[in-house]
């Protein structure tokens, strides 16, 4: 629950909820917001969200402080995250988004490292095996949501280190 | 009505007829009197009325007797009128149709129209005051008319008359004092008419605005303090006047000023720095302009503002203004400058605008 989550000092600072006009100040502010969104979503295992949910979520709405980040400013924060590669819009209307506390490329790297370490190059895995198999229990990517996993594998595919294939009951991947 | 004098109706040498109109009735104040149908003549010197039925009944008022004139529009069953406000009759006035009247104005009712043009011409004559340049000999103002001359009285009647004359003299002094006002009013009406004419010409593209009209219009604007209506002079090429004013401003900042337009003041201030005076004009990003001492360093003030805000945790412009003892407008400018410099940040909510120390920068 939100209570176990440790809010950063900015969360209790009212100016945090006003988009700062001073450019240098804004830069710091946005960096803090991005960091907060990612750690919040990571802890709550939230891989996707709608903008409407976000507005009412304690993430952007500090009820105790009586401050909430206005939706236009939320959009600015989300755009920052997108530019950094941590966010992807799931629809044309920009009403819902995928949030990845680690960028797909970073996940891809971790997965590939594990594959190499365990000498499983040229092996084929189902997506489920990768994220939920016993072998990967101690790995960071264990329990990773499918959307993010797919993007991680797509990144590896770009580097010709993997290939997404269709297997009997869904999708899988072959590593090179 | 006691201002009229009997006249032959003949024009004097130097006196020219300007316009005449049939079918004019005269009112004494609001009262209808027997002079209900006549020809009204306007000359360079007088307003003459001649009875249409009895040409011998002819009277006039010198234009110099008129304080100011007004138009009264026509209504249902009512003709358009001109209201003529008059100075009290001089003691030396020649006989006329009325010895005395309680009214100081008459009305001319244009039953056969013609009011507009007559009014225009009368206004013109009153502005031009041609009678001042072309005196007519007094002796030709005749006594002809059905009424006898004034009776000199002695005794109580004489005393009463003297009192009456004294009253009239006082009245006249007051009227003279208001003469300037009447001239101003005539000019104001003129200006309005000119503006209307130009506006109409522009609207209906009725021919060009004459150069004369343009010059007149510009001269009116100039007299109102609008130096050049077409282009704005930049303060770089400022006038002598503004330079002088800038120099004087330094000395008279404390003293009560005579009326000074804001535009003149700002233009003068723009020259302060160029003239190396100890004051200067400062324009904030928001457009707010202030005059400050050359020695004043707003940036240093910002450092102390930060201290004050930090002490209190956060402050609004009003709270800060009260604490420091300055106007809210200037207080806001100082806080905004501090924000611009990165010392403060803002909290903008339904509760208002508050400034905080910029912890985003100072805290990791």
ipTM: 0.88
Q: Which residue has the higher pLDDT, B243 or A138?
A: A138
Query: What is A139-167 written as a DSSP string?
Result: STTTT--HHHHHHHHHHHHHTTSEEEEEE
Q: Do B345 and A14 touch (CB under 8 A)?
A: no
User: C-alpha distances in angstroms, B223 versus B214, B218, B226, B259?
Assistant: 14, 9, 7, 14
Q: How far is CA B314 from the centre of its chain?
A: 51
What is residue B173's three-state secondary structure?
A: helix
| Helices within A47-87 (DSSP H only) | 51-56, 71-84
**E strand map for chain B:** 5-6, 17-28, 31-32, 38-43, 46-51, 58-62, 66-72, 81-86, 105-110, 279-283, 289-293, 344-349, 352-357
Q: Residue A22 and residue B339: Cβ atoms within 8 Å?
A: yes
Distance between CA atoms of residues A159 and A166, nearest Å? 19
Contact A18 B339 (CB under 8 A): no
Residue in A13, A14, A28 nearest the CB of B361: A28
* Interchain proximity A22–B342, CB inside 8 Å: yes
pLDDT of residue B194: 74
Locate A125 and state its tokens: 């895995």
CA of A31: which chain B residue's CA is closest?
Answer: B360
The pLDDT, as a whole number, for residue B230 is 36
Residue in chain B nearest A30 by alpha carbon = B360
B314–A contact, CB cutoff 8 A: yes
Contacts of B361 in chain A (CB under 8 A): 24-25, 28
Residues contacting B364, CB < 8 A, separation 6+:
none
Report the gap between the CA of B341 and the closest CA in chain A (Å).
8
Please judge whether A18 and B340 are an interchain contact, meaning their C-beta atoms are less than 8 angstroms apart.
no
Best residue in B306, B345, B357 for a mutation probing chain A (most A CBs within 10 Å)? B345
Cβ within 8 Å, pair B346-A20: yes
Cross-chain residue pair B345–A25, CB shorter than 8 Å: yes
Residue A134 buriedness (CB in 10 A; 0-12 / 13-18 / 19+): exposed
- pLDDT of B285 reads 85
**What integer pLDDT is reported at residue B147 of this predicted model?**
41
Q: What is the pLDDT of residue B91?
A: 80
Taken in order of first residue, the domains within chain A and their CATH numbers are 8-97 (1.10.10.570), 102-173 (1.10.10.10)
Enter the tokens of residue B169. Answer: 């003299």
| Euclidean distance between the first and the last CA atom of chain B, given in angstroms as a whole number | 94
Look at strands B352-357 and B344-349 and give their pairing.
antiparallel
- CA-to-CA distance for B290 and B330, rounded, in angstroms? 8
Question: Is the model's pLDDT at A159 over the cut of 90?
Answer: yes
Over its length of 364 residues, how does chain B's per-residue pLDDT go in tens digits? 888 999 888 888 888 899 999 999 999 999 888 899 999 999 999 999 999 988 889 999 999 989 889 999 888 888 999 999 988 888 888 888 888 888 889 999 999 989 999 999 999 998 888 888 876 654 444 444 444 444 455 566 777 777 788 778 777 766 666 666 667 777 677 777 777 777 776 667 655 667 777 777 666 666 655 544 433 333 444 566 677 767 766 666 665 555 677 888 888 888 887 877 778 888 888 888 888 877 777 778 888 999 999 999 999 999 999 999 888 998 999 999 999 999 999 999 999 999 999 999 998 6
pLDDT at A77: 97
Number of C-alpha atoms within 13 angstroms, CB side, residue B327? 5
Question: In the prediction, which pLDDT does A42 show?
Answer: 92
Question: In sequence order, what are the residues at sequence separation of 6 or more whose Cβ sits closer than 8 angstroms to the Cβ of residue B113?
Answer: B23, B79, B80
User: Model-level pTM?
Assistant: 0.51
B109 three-class SS: strand
> CB-based contacts of B207: which residues, under 8 Å, 6+ apart?
B201
Count of beta carbons in the 10 Å neighbourhood of residue B41:
21
């Amino acid at each position: 629950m939100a209570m176990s989550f440790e809010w950063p000092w900015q969360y209790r600072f009212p100016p945090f909820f006003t988009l700062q006009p001073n450019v240098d100040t804004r830069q710091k502010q946005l960096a803090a917001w991005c960091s907060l969104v990612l750690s919040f979503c990571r802890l709550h295992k939230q891989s996707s969200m709608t903008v409407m949910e976000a507005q009412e979520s304690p993430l952007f709405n500090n009820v105790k402080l009586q401050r909430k980040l206005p939706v236009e400013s939320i959009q600015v924060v989300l755009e920052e995250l997108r530019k950094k590669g941590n966010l992807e819009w799931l629809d044309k209307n920009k009403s819902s988004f995928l949030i990845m506390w680690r960028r797909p490329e970073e996940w891809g790297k971790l997965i590939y490292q594990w594959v190499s370490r365990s000498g499983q190059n040229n092996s084929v895995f189902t997506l489920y095996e990768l994220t939920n198999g016993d072998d990967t229990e101690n790995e960071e990517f264990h329990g990773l949501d499918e959307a993010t996993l797919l993007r991680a594998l797509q990144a590896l595919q770009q580097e010709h280190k993997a290939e997404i294939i269709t297997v009997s009951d869904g999708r899988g991947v072959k590593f090179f | 009505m006691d201002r009229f004098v009997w006249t032959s109706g003949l024009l004097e040498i130097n006196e020219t007829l300007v316009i005449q109109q049939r079918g004019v009735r005269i009112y004494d104040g609001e009262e209808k009197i027997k002079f209900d149908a006549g020809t009204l003549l306007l000359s360079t010197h007088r307003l003459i009325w001649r009875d249409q039925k009895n040409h011998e009944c002819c009277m006039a008022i010198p234009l110099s007797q008129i304080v100011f004139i007004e138009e009264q529009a026509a209504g249902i069953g009512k003709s358009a009128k001109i209201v003529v406000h008059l100075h009290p009759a001089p003691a030396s006035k020649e006989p006329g149709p009325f010895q005395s009247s309680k009214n100081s104005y008459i009305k001319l009712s244009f039953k056969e129209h013609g009011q507009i043009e007559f009014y225009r011409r009368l206004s013109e004559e009153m502005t031009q005051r041609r009678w001042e340049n072309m005196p007519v000999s007094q002796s030709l103002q005749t006594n002809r008319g059905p009424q006898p001359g004034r009776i000199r009285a002695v005794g109580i009647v004489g005393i009463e008359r003297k009192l009456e004359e004294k009253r009239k003299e006082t009245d006249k002094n007051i009227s003279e004092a208001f003469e300037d006002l009447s001239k101003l009013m005539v000019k104001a009406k003129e200006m309005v008419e000119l503006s209307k004419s130009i506006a109409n010409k522009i609207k209906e593209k009725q021919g060009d605005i004459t150069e004369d009209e343009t010059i007149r219009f510009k001269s009116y604007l100039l007299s109102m303090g609008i130096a050049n209506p077409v282009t704005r002079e930049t303060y770089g090429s400022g006038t002598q006047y503004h330079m002088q004013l800038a120099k004087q401003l330094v000395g008279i900042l404390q003293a009560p000023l005579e009326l000074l337009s804001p535009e003149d003041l700002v233009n003068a201030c723009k020259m302060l720095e160029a003239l190396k005076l100890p004051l200067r004009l400062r324009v904030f990003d928001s457009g707010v302009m202030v005059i400050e001492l050359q020695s004043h360093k707003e940036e240093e003030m910002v450092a102390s503002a930060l201290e004050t805000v930090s002490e209190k945790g956060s402050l609004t412009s009003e709270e800060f203004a009260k604490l420091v003892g300055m106007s809210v407008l200037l207080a806001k400018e100082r806080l905004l400058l501090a924000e611009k410099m990165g010392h403060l940040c803002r909290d903008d909510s339904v509760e208002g605008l508050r400034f905080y120390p910029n912890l985003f920068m100072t805290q990791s």
